[in-house]
Amino acid sequence: MKIVIIGGVAAGASAATKARRTNENAQIVLLEQGEYVSFANCGLPYYVGGTIPKRDNLLVVREELFRKRYNIDVRTLSQVTKINRSKKTVTVLDKRNNTTYEESYDKLIIATGARPFVLPFLKDCKNSYTCFTLYDVDKIKEAFSADPVKKAVVIGAGYIGMELAEQLNLLGVECTIIELKSSILPQFDKEMTNPVVDTLKEKGVDVKTGVSVVDADVIDGVAKRLKLSNGEEIECDVVFQTAGVIPNVELAREAGLEVNRGIVVNNKMQTSDPDIYAAGDAVEVKSIITGKNVWIPLAGPANKQGRVAGCNAAGGNLEFKGVVGSSIIKVFDWALAKVGLSETECKDQGLNYNVTIVHPLHHAGYYPGGKQLTIKLIFDSTTGRIYGAQVIGKEGVDKRADVIATAIYAGLTVFDLENLDLVYAPPFSSAKDPVIMAGMTASNILRGEVKNILPDRVFELLDNPDYIVLDVRTPEEYEFGHVKGAVNIPVDELRNRVSELPKDKKIIVYCGVGFRSYHGCLILKANGFDCLNMSGGWTSWRMYYPDMVE
């Protein structure tokens, strides 16, 4: 058996090594158009900033290891230009001598990945860079060592853009981030990223959202000034283009394989041609949550998909069961994780969902050093099935996100979350872990113990005469800041003061994080009031509306 793999890095390299572990006797050829067969592209921004000090640290597996340990015929600088399905060959351009040849295969694996989106008018600018390959960061490092860089513009506030902005700031470079969507990290719901914007501004990073770069003043091949869609102009020494990636599906499409946004594969990572497999950023796979095909270019799924493709191409039998869509990013001292669907994505797909937001400490409050977490949990309004979650904070974020990602993968509900048996000791968690607390609040909602309402809906009802907003915090907390028009009755006085509230109106109750207001709602409900608990309380309100304080 002869297996040919197009592309290295995450999916291709994983496919090659798993194919060898599955079949010792197969002939395996890996064709990589670049100079490096496997490198850590997720670490590139950190090498730019010096957090990762040595370039060699990014070289995950070298050619020599592929050859000696795995007996894989690795050919770098070898670009596949055509797949000839009828002949079962690929046409290869050898970049070393600019010659072409045909390579036969019994099984073919496509791991062509993706490429960065580049604005046409900046494509040939000497000071415009992407941050996608080792070649990119080599050029960036060279530019930074040749001339002092004072002003940088990062186009696109996704994961790579935000990581680059942080690293540039650590280098002392004045940085501006430009994002077309209305918020940074648009994979997240906007309110979850607002606290990070405040930190960026405190660090001196200029954040511009809801605008795009439409043109540039280019002199002698150097972009001197960028022109924005709002009429603003920004001077720059360097420009980083991090506004997303495009899947490399041209080879597959020209070969007549089924392609939508990405290459269509089954759970064996098999394309519409049973002798051709595909994996990584070029493919579409099933969402575990919706069952629909999705294109999610992330390193974790790419590695697992490559492993499945390599095994099956070599005669094994593995399945890729789908993706949850789990990701995390560090921005200065913040960590932001997203698993499953956001609220925006649930709306777009027409799902019947509800939301709870909790703000617990990452470990026991009586143990020193507790840091606040925010968990936004999204779930089916009827069954309690978990659709997704976003977790932000400064400690303990990854642990909670991973627990919820596992719950989604296993098909658990919020009723399962409230009953999880998780590890506990004061330095690590609370007796009721933050994930369990999120499960409890969601379960309370579904059991009908309390009705919840999100801050954005409260905002829409502020001037509605049928509603009253009730703040059950202390007078001191109320004076520090409150929702416009809110009445203040502390929860400890509420039983004796319910007569001050009209029963012909709906009462929206809030406190600091939602716990006291939950008790307040139970008191009001027992006294015949129709009330709603604002999820996450004042802390959530400040995340949704950071500039709106009475």
Task: List active site positions.
Answer: 42
- Nearest CA-CA partner of 391 in 379, 380, 405: 405
Q: Which residue has 């840091």 as its token pair?
A: 371
Q: What angle do CA 38, 409, 383 make, to 5 degrees?
A: 155
Kindly tell me the burial class for residue 147, based on how many C-beta atoms sit within 10 Å of its own C-beta (0-12, 13-18, 19 or more).
Answer: exposed
Q: At what angle do helices 63-70 and 9-22 cross, to 10 degrees?
A: 10
Which parts of 7-103 fold into alpha helices (H)? 9-22, 44-48, 63-70
Give the Cα separation of 319 and 340 in Å (integer): 20
Kindly tell me the burial class for residue 465, based on how many C-beta atoms sit within 10 Å of its own C-beta (0-12, 13-18, 19 or more).
Answer: exposed
Give the Cα separation of 226 and 213 in Å (integer): 7
Give the Cα separation of 490 and 467 in Å (integer): 19
Query: Is the distance from CB of 548 to CB of 525 less than 8 angstroms?
Result: no
Cα distances from 121 to residues 74, 79, 127, 157, 214, in angstroms, run 36, 27, 12, 20, 9
Cα distances from 50 to residues 46, 73, 144, 394, in angstroms, run 6, 34, 12, 22
Q: What one-letter code names the amino acid at 467?
A: Y
Residue 226 host element (H or E): strand 222-228
Contacts 24+ apart (CB under 8 A), 140-147: 140/48, 140/238, 141/47, 141/48, 143/238, 144/171, 147/237
